[in-house]
Structures are given as structure tokens and as C-alpha cells.
Structure 1
């Protein structure tokens, strides 16, 4: 039996991440614990506030991401779908916390509009498929697409966590709000890392599909639907200076360390993060 067949018929994974405990300890509404008063006394600068909005929009887009995942074979994996249910719940409330920051910041109304013409890149055409087209393609791909979803989700977590760390450095008030969010997201990345590494090790076909996806993906996930100017802002704000380039380099190293993901693919991921 080949490795792909073994992957399709493998028994449930006994990985260290406890999905039931994850669901039991899910983090909901954060507003009762947010100290927003300092944001009125020492307002965020415009760039930090715009980054808050960008991250809020990314967290809000989770439902659309899950929709795209569940029209594929990923919906047949009970462990993954159980994780996604709680993951979606936690991201909803992270977006709500960021909304509270925007509401408490006097300069929010002065931000430039986020809407505008999208960036066009030939490599990103695949991401513009609707759910019907995704379902048809995924039907051909089969269960190996789960490795692709787990790996791209993991890389996306690394990218957004870099953005949150940048935001936490804007002020002590923001650090007190963002640091708990980063801890929540670390738990998300632990699950995704376990699943990605296990699935990539077991299937050469999963590794091929995942390498192709990593080469073509617009980062962070969902960026293909965002305006050109918002994508450029995110790249410059998070990865545009010396500290940001160091973050991008660390992400490249982590991608290259994944089973079967070649250094050239990791370099492509890094290059697409930089402005």
C-alpha cells in the first residue's frame, strides 16, 4: 500500500494537543477584562490603529475561510473540524476585542478607507476560486488537501502573530490587550503544527500539494480579497523595517523546517511578505 493510501485509512491521531480541553477552555468575550482608558489618554498613532483595523478584518474573515475548508475533504476529519469550531469561536471574540480598541480610539474615524482596487498577481488566481470551484478541485485532490490546509493555516498564524507582536510594542496599554491574544493564538498554532508535521511526514503527495500552495498563496490568508493599498500597508508596517525583516526571516526558517518543504519554497514565502 502506498503512503497516500495509508494516510487516507489511518486511525485517529493521538497527538499531544487535546482538542476536548481546547473546546472546554475556549476564550470568549474579552471586553470585561480590557483596560481601554489609557487609549483615550495616550491615543495610538495612526499606523498602529490602522494595523488594529487590518487584524480585526482578518479575524472577522474566519467564517469565509472555514467555508472554503469545509467544501473539501477537510470536513471529513472529525479532529480537525472539532478544532475549527472552537478556533472560529475564539477568533470571533478576538475581532470583537479589536473592535473595542477601535471604538475607544479617538482617531479611528480619521483612518483612510480600507476598500479599493485589489492587487492582481497571476500566481494568486487559484485563491480567487469560489466555493463551487474549490469543491470540484478538492474532489480530485482528496484527503491530502488537509495537509495543505493545516500548513497554510500554520504559516498564517506565524505571520499574524508577528503583526500582533508589532502591535503590542505600540504602548503598554496595547501590550496588556494584545499579549493575551498572542497566547490564545499560540494554542492555535500548536494544533496546526502537530497536524501539518504529521500529515507532511506521511505522504509525498501531501508534500507536493503543500509546496505548490505555499508558492501561490497571498499572505496573510485572505489578502487576495483585500485592497492593494491595505496589503501594501500591512507588509510595510509588519515586515518593512529591520525588525520586520528579521521576523520574515524567522518565518522562512520555520517554513523550511517543515517536513518536505524545500528551502526555495520557504524563500518564496518570505519574499511575498516583504514590501
Structure 2
């Protein structure tokens, strides 16, 4: 007999986010919207350029993230997979826009090498699993793993949007680029939040899986593959100082306020603050 906790579907609910409209109005190719001559003339400050590079690489990591998601039961959820295809398309073009800024400014040439050893912490061991191990593990988790994926997506959006806002504060010339990115990502956040809240509220198993996912993830998603020094830079520039710590505290509070996530936000906040 199948219990409610093991059910293969989420309890029916009215959804607000229109996935079909999202696909019809996908935002791509932003280079025409950016005044690249500004960056050609004046370049970028090193910290701003380095944060642009980190964000570009995180946006580029989307396909690897899709691979990890789609070897699980998430690929059977039509609503989520329909969203993810457009989500990946939009993130590709955000990475391209950031790449255009780096090309025009030539700032990347003067940045420290984007390589080096990775952090090898026990708490992130799950995040380093290969595709096969993820598929096997997810088979035991069942369809409620979808809740863990959308909840992690929501937390990641809160974190990366904070990084974009920080980028705008340290380089005013990037305000148009940042505004474009935040407009695109706002729809991503709305979808993840709606799905996460609905799924977490519906199932104790979904809540357990989501807690495990959030506590074992390196933030932002994709950071586990980045060199340790680049991760330290991201944490320092985005969440260092009084304003950064307040931003991290706010993100932690938002996460802990999700159904069944009490206290999880405190752990993520601690990971974010250098």
C-alpha cells in the first residue's frame, strides 16, 4: 500500500506561474542591449571583473546541473521539465552577456588564474556524486526528489540575485547588465518559490529530502566545481562586511521560513559568510 508520504503526485493546487507563457516569452541574446563601448573605453575594476567571471561561469554550469536533475524522477514531471528547458536557454544568454562585458573590457586578461585546488569538505561529499550515483540514489528517493530540486533552485536564486545586486553596487557601469539579469531571474525565482512551497507543504518525505539536499549543497550551485580561491573570493565580495552578512542573514531567514526548513537557513547562512 502506498502512503501519502510516498505518493507519486503532489496534491492538486492552483498554480499561478504560467509555464507556457514563460516559454513563449523567453529572453535571449542581450548584447544589443548593452553599451559595450563603455567597457571598451573604461574597462572594469578587478573585483567587479572577477565577480562577473564567477557569475558567468556559474550561469554556464547550467547544462551540468540539468544533467544531474534529469537522471532523477524530475525528468518525469512535465511542468518542471518544461520550465527547465526555457530556464537553461535564458541562463545561457545571461552567461553570453557577461562574456560580452569581459571581452569588451579585456579585464579577464589581468585576473588571477581561474584554476587551482578544490575544497574537499565532508559536508559537500554528496554534491560531488557522479551521474550514475545520483541516478541510483534518486531511484530510492522517488518522485518527492522533485521538491528537493526546486527548493535548492529557490535557495540558489536568492543567493545569485544577491551576487548580482552586489555587482551593481561595486560597478555602476554594470547597472544595465545587472537589471537585465535580475529581470530574467525574477521569473526563475517565482517558479521555484511557487513549486517549492507547494511541494514542501504537501509531503513530509519531500521536506526530509529537501533538508538533506540543502544541507549538503555547496552554494551557489555549481560552486563545488570552482577552485577554492574563487569560492572564497565570491563569499568575501558578496557576503563579507556588515552589508554582506545582513544579506546572508536575510537569505537564511527566507529559507528557514519554508515549510519544514526551520533552522536550515542558519546552516546555509554560515556557509555563505566568509
State the TM-score, normalizing by the size of structure 1: 0.96
* 1:26/1:90 contact within 8 Å kept: yes
| CA distance in structure 1 between the partners assigned to 2:61 and 2:10 by the alignment | 32
> For 1:119, what is the secondary structure of its paired residue?
coil
> For 1:16, what is the secondary structure of its paired residue?
coil
Kindly indicate whether residue 271 of structure 2 is the aligned counterpart of residue 272 of structure 1: yes
> For 1:145, what is the secondary structure of its paired residue?
helix
* 1:35/1:177 contact within 8 Å kept: no
| CA distance in structure 1 between the partners assigned to 2:273 and 2:72 by the alignment | 31
Aligned to 2:61: 61
Instruction: State the Cα distance separating 1:216 from its structure 2 match.
Output: 1.4
Greater Cα offset, 90-99 or 32-41: 32-41
* 1:119/1:224 contact within 8 Å kept: yes
Kindly indicate whether residue 199 of structure 2 is the aligned counterpart of residue 203 of structure 1: no
Instruction: State the Cα distance separating 1:270 from its structure 2 match.
Output: 0.3
**Structure 2: gaps (5+ residues):** none
Aligned positions of 1:4-23 closer than 5 A: 4-6=5-7, 8-10=8-10, 14-23=14-23
- Shift >4 Å, 4+ stretches: 10-13
Q: Deviation per CA, 1:73-105: give whole Å up to 9, x if none.
A: 000000000000000000000000000000011
Aligned to 1:145: 145
| CA distance in structure 1 between the partners assigned to 2:129 and 2:171 by the alignment | 40
Instruction: State the Cα distance separating 1:13 from its structure 2 match.
Output: 5.0
| CA distance in structure 2 between the partners assigned to 1:166 and 1:195 by the alignment | 27
| CA distance in structure 2 between the partners assigned to 1:191 and 1:33 by the alignment | 25
* 1:114/1:227 contact within 8 Å kept: yes
Q: CA RMSD in A?
A: 1.3
Greater Cα offset, 10-19 or 53-62: 10-19
| CA distance in structure 2 between the partners assigned to 1:51 and 1:73 by the alignment | 34
Instruction: Count how many residue pairs are aligned between Structure 1 and Structure 2.
Output: 273
Q: Deviation per CA, 1:22-79: give whole Å up to 9, x if none.
A: 0000001111111112223332210110000000000000000000000000000000
Aligned to 1:171: 171
Q: Deviation per CA, 1:206-236: give whole Å up to 9, x if none.
A: 1111111211111011111111101100000
| CA distance in structure 2 between the partners assigned to 1:111 and 1:15 by the alignment | 45
Aligned positions of 1:1-275 closer than 5 A: 2-6=3-7, 8-10=8-10, 14-263=14-263, 265-275=264-274
Greater Cα offset, 50-59 or 27-36: 27-36
